[in-house]
Chain A
């Protein structure tokens, strides 16, 4: 396998964004071989410069990627809808029917999506109307935490695909403490959360240690550890005395004790729990680690160029281990918030709910910056909440959310493709001058 390398290809200028800690603020000035000089001899107006800065920036790419993915999703909904298919049979006789059917199926699905994720305006009062938004935040809680873990590893030049295994280990450790011990309120919760985070950190630390000691590629090790953790947890779940609920034959744990459950934030009628606050705290913590601490400086130096970091006296191998430990702990927080906040009645081996993989897309969409991940996590939380409501109301399978999410990441990873589709100018190119679509974005190592 290869050397650790920068996973996402940042746009020229993305680094300045990253240091400021925000991916979505003002577009960076065009970098690279910029030719600010006018092509025709007269200086361009201020408006045209501003316009060019907006259309060549990162934010516009992210927005257009989301739009593009939603369009593809709409096409899929329309083509598989039965009403559309029925109307399409007599398309040439009455084409209007087909368009009406398409409009009804797509708009119905996306309206249900909105009502399930942000605000349900069919409800009489504000309290029940705003409930979908709290659902979105509940879904976003583990996505933010796990996304931070994956994103932090990205910044050190590592790829943590082991979110699933780390979440399972965290859930088992936290769950074991939460249902197996009797401790006073508060202390029990803290001990359970810490147990889960430490368990996941150690699980991820295996990959970091093996990379540091033997050069084993962390992608392979974390993928393999996912399955090892899955089978380990499955075995523990069906073995009495370990995780299985006493007196039950199902591979499921007993319910968590009340003293360990994360408290509700907005009262019992909403699902939003204290884990959301923990995730926000993690965002601030990761921002501080990456942008304000010397450890974060070393992390970023290793991520940019491990050889240069070594020459500068940074212990690169130790950084790999520390990064995986912290990354695992953050992913572990996602697992903990699942078992202590969202599903408190006992869990089975499906508790990770694909969050470990969703976290990769969250981290990529957030460009591995803490605040970007916060925004991306909330967006994907909305996708999940809206996807369920879309499935319930319109019968559109929730799997479409996977398609839309993965398309967003693909489009964001390839800005030249999005620019080509929307005919945006490439950054650094003078207006009305033909340049190759592929700008030199990354040097081969």
Chain B
């Protein structure tokens, strides 16, 4: 798929020292999706109209509803997608890169076409866009915290399969502590702190076993997930369920709309009418990104994950760096777990994380071990699962299971190398034994 050729248009002297690597992956992927869309929208086309609600009833700035005809939109979308495919093919032939903006544009057009098609075929052809987006963000919050945890611990060289366990531990502890404190403000605050601590405790076990005793990190992670699941379920049945009023009725976090920003149509309710955990998440993403790539801490962390021996040679304490950064990652994941109880559902329940830790792991890989990209991947996965909810509510004919499958399929394609190049930190998963 990848062809290495010298640029023919360049002068001969320049051609000798300049090679351009072009990949046909993007045009091929575009073509596949265009054909898919053509079959879906046109052959199995639905007739009728789809209405997109752009504002909620209580918004200050009201946008009118947009109504699209299914047939017209389908044709327009397919034609536009075909055009983008041709453009990308021409770009690749001219030895130029296919920009990320083209991919985003293509995805947006595909999504509009898909939503119109799915909504027009359903019982109530109305898609509440603000609700869809806000719900997508709130489903993404634990995924984003989990993927930040995964990025940090894998970048420092410890594979963290235990994200699921850390989220679950955070959810459990925050529910118990917030309920026990009871106060509407102090309760959630202490609950979040307790959730972080419990995430750190799980991380301590992971770090101790994998760094001190050189146990395989994947094994410790898998076993820790089972251990936390067993512990929380046991304590839930034995202690929480009989005393639900005292120990499992945490006060939920209040939504804190940010003035002005929350009134922006469409984006405002999604990003700025959220709880404190979501705002903490924005801060965490920014801090982790800047920390990893623009501070001494991040440089040391990454060097330990890429080449521990070299890091040791220049005087970095490999064991200590790994231990404390894995613990820090655990604190972040634990905070994400608090969102399950304090931020969304309220009470703790058995197995309430339901695989979110593994989707977060998928986001880490799909996001190429980069905090920003991993966050975007987590948002995509959250959007896919909320789209499935919304389509289920409006009675769309698309089987919801296939939407739920999507993140996992994308991840498999990503690790198999079909979607971009995936390469993790070189020393992740390998214990460092100082000789």
9 examples of A-B residue contacts, CB within 8 angstroms: A1-B159, A1-B429, A5-B430, A6-B216, A224-B409, A404-B230, A407-B227, A438-B214, A442-B431
B213 and A217 form a contact (CB under 8 A): no
Cβ of B411 to closest chain A Cβ, rounded Å: 5
Indicate which residue in B238, B429, B430 contacts A397 across the interface (CB closer than 8 Å): B238
User: CA–CA, A445 to B358, complex, Å?
Assistant: 27
Docked complex: A215-232 residues within 8 A CB-CB of B = 215-217, 219-221, 223-225, 227-228, 231-232
Which residues in B have their C-beta under 8 angstroms from that of A42?
Answer: none
Contact with A231, one of B209, B405, B427 (Cβ below 8 angstroms) = B405
What does the 1/0 interface line of A64-80 toward B look like (CB < 8 Å)? 00000000000010001
The reply to whether A414 and B431 form a contact with Cβ atoms under 8 Å apart is no
Residue of B nearest to A396 (CB): B238
A269-296 contact mask (Cβ, 8 Å, vs B): 1 or 0: 0000000000000000000000000000
The reply to whether B361 and A235 form a contact with Cβ atoms under 8 Å apart is no
**A residues with CB within 8 A of B:** 1-2, 5-9, 76, 80, 159, 161, 210, 213-217, 219-221, 223-225, 227-228, 231-232, 234-235, 239, 357, 360-361, 364, 396-397, 399-407, 409-410, 413-414, 416-417, 438, 440-445
- Contact residues of B between 398 and 435, Cβ < 8 Å to A: 399, 401-402, 404-405, 408-409, 411-412, 415-417, 424, 427-433
Bound Cα distance A166, B304 (Å): 36
Identity of the chain A residue whose Cβ is nearest the Cβ of B212 in the assembled complex = A438
Decide: A5 and B216 in contact? CB cutoff 8 A.
yes
CB distance from B304 to the nearest CB of A (A): 13
Inside 8 A of B308's CB, which chain A residues have their CB? 444
Of the residues A76, A438, A444, contact of B432 by C-beta under 8 Å: A444
- The secondary structure that dominates the A interface is helix
- List of 6 A-B pairs having minimum Cβ-Cβ separation, nearest first: A402-B230, A2-B429, A399-B233, A235-B401, A397-B237, A403-B230
| Residue B219 CB within 8 A of the other chain | yes
Q: A232-B401, A442-B433 are in contact. Are A405 and B209 (CB under 8 A)?
A: no
- Shortest CB-to-CB span from B278 to chain A, Å, is 26
Q: A227-B355, A399-B237 are in contact. Are A413 and B219 (CB under 8 A)?
A: yes
CB distance from A194 to the nearest CB of B (A): 27
Q: Are A80 and B216 in contact (CB under 8 A)?
A: no
Could you tell me the distance between the alpha carbons of A255 and B212 in the complex, rounded to whole angstroms?
51
For the complex formed, measure the closest distance between the CB of B224 and the CB atoms of chain A, giving whole angstroms: 7
Whole-angstrom CA separation of A235 from B212 in the bound complex: 45
B interface, CB within 8 angstroms of A: 159, 161, 205, 209, 212-216, 218-220, 222-224, 226-227, 229-231, 233-235, 237-239, 308, 355, 358, 361-362, 365, 399, 401-402, 404-405, 408-409, 411-412, 415-417, 424, 427-433
Instruction: Among A6, A401, A404, A409, find the residue whose CB has the most chain B CB atoms closer than 10 A.
Output: A409
**A221 with B219: CB separation less than 8 A:** no
Please, which residues of chain B bring their CB within 8 A of the CB of A217?
A: 415
Describe B's contact surface by its main secondary structure: helix
User: In the docked arrangement, what's the CA distance between A396 and B233, Å?
Assistant: 11
Whether B430 contacts A223 by the Cβ 8 Å rule is no
CB neighbours of A396 from chain B (8 A): 238
Q: Which residue of A is nearest B409, CB measured?
A: A228
Q: A2-B429, A221-B412, A444-B433 are in contact. Are A234 and B358 (CB under 8 A)?
A: no
Determine the distance from Cα of A175 to Cα of B329 in the docked complex, in whole angstroms: 43
Q: What residues of A have a CB within 8 angstroms of the CB of B233 in the complex? A: 397, 399, 402
- How long is the Cα–Cα vector from A360 to B214 in the complex, in angstroms? 18
Chain B residue with minimal CB distance to A354?
B226
Cross-chain contact A224 with B411 (CB below 8 angstroms) = yes
- Chain B residues near A9: list those with CB within 8 A: 214-216
Residues of chain B lying within 8 A (CB to CB) of residue A232: 401, 405
Shortest distance from the beta carbon of B47 to any chain A beta carbon, whole Å = 24
Residues of chain A within 8 A (CB-CB) of B429 are 1-2, 5
Q: A2-B159, A228-B409, A234-B401 are in contact. Are A406 and B234 (CB under 8 A)?
A: no
| Contact among A5, A80, A417, A444 with B238 in the assembled complex (CB-CB below 8 Å) | A80
Q: In the complex, A217→B361 CA distance in Å?
A: 13
Determine whether the beta carbon of B219 is less than 8 Å from that of A409.
yes
Residue pair A214, B234 in contact (C-beta under 8 Å): no
Q: Once the chains are docked, how many angstroms separate the CA of A443 from the CA of B213?
A: 12
- B90 nearest CB across to chain A (Å): 28
Cβ of A7 and Cβ of B216 under 8 Å apart? yes
Q: With a CB–CB cut-off of 8 A, which chain A residues contact B430?
A: 2, 5, 444-445
B1 CB to nearest A CB, Å: 12
Q: How far is the CB of B310 from chain A (nearest CB, A)?
A: 13
B140 to chain A, nearest CB (A): 17
The answer to whether B213 touches A216 (Cβ under 8 A) is no
Closest to B399 in A: A235
Chain B residues closer than 8 Å to A397, beta-carbon distance: 233-234, 237-238
What is the CB-to-nearest-CB distance from B4 to chain A, in angstroms, rounded to a whole number? 19
Known contacts A1-B424, A2-B430, A216-B416: A357-B226 contact under CB 8 Å: yes
Cross-chain contact A443 with B433 (CB below 8 angstroms):
yes
Which B residue sits closest to A215, measured CB to CB?
B417
Instruction: Please pick, from B224, B235, B408, the residue contacting A228 in the complex, using a CB distance under 8 A.
Output: B408
Residues of B within 8 A of A6 (CB): 216
* Cα(A159)–Cα(B217), bound, Å: 12
A402 to B232, CA, bound (A): 11
Q: Known A216-B412, A403-B227, A414-B213; judge A357-B222 contact (CB<8 A).
A: yes
A210 contacts B412, CB within 8 Å? yes
Distance in angstroms between the alpha carbons of A410 and B365 in the assembled complex: 26
Nearest neighbor of B205 in chain A, beta-carbon distance: A410
Q: Measured between alpha carbons, how far is A239 from B400 in the docked complex, in Å? A: 12
Task: Give me 8 other A-B pairs in contact (C-beta within 8 A), A2-B430, A223-B361 excluded.
Answer: A214-B417, A220-B412, A399-B234, A400-B234, A413-B223, A414-B209, A440-B433, A444-B431
Contacting residues, chain A, for B408 (C-beta < 8 A): 224-225, 227-228
CA distance A342 to B237 in the complex (A): 27
Residues of A within 8 A of B404 (CB): 227, 231
Alpha-carbon distance between A225 and B308 when the two chains are bound, in angstroms: 32
Chain B residues lying within 8 Å of A416, measured Cβ to Cβ, are 213
- Residues on A with C-beta less than 8 A from B216 are 5-9, 413
Are B222 and A360 interface neighbours, CB within 8 A?
Answer: yes
Nearest CB of B to A168, in Å: 13
Picked from B213, B402, B428, the residue with its CB within 8 Å of the CB of A235 is B402
Instruction: Collect the chain A residues with CB atoms within 8 Å of residue B411's CB.
Output: 220, 224
| Chain A: minimal CB distance from B208 (Å) | 9
Residues of B within 8 Å of A220, CB to CB, are 361-362, 365, 411-412, 415
How distant is the Cα of A82 from the Cα of B123 in the complex, in angstroms?
A: 53
- Whether B415 pairs with A216 at a CB distance below 8 angstroms is yes
8 Å CB contact of A80 from B212, B235, B433: B235
**Are A417 and B230 interface neighbours, CB within 8 A?**
no
**Interchain CB contact under 8 A, A402 and B227:** yes
Contact of B223 among A213, A235, A361 (CB under 8 A): A361
- Whole-angstrom CA separation of A414 from B161 in the bound complex: 18
CB nearest neighbor in A for B426: A2
**Residues A228 and B218 in contact, CB atoms below 8 Å apart:** no
Whole-angstrom distance between the alpha carbons of A397 and B411 in the complex?
Answer: 36
A231 to B400, CA, bound (A): 9
In Å, the complex CA distance between A5 and B408 comes to: 24
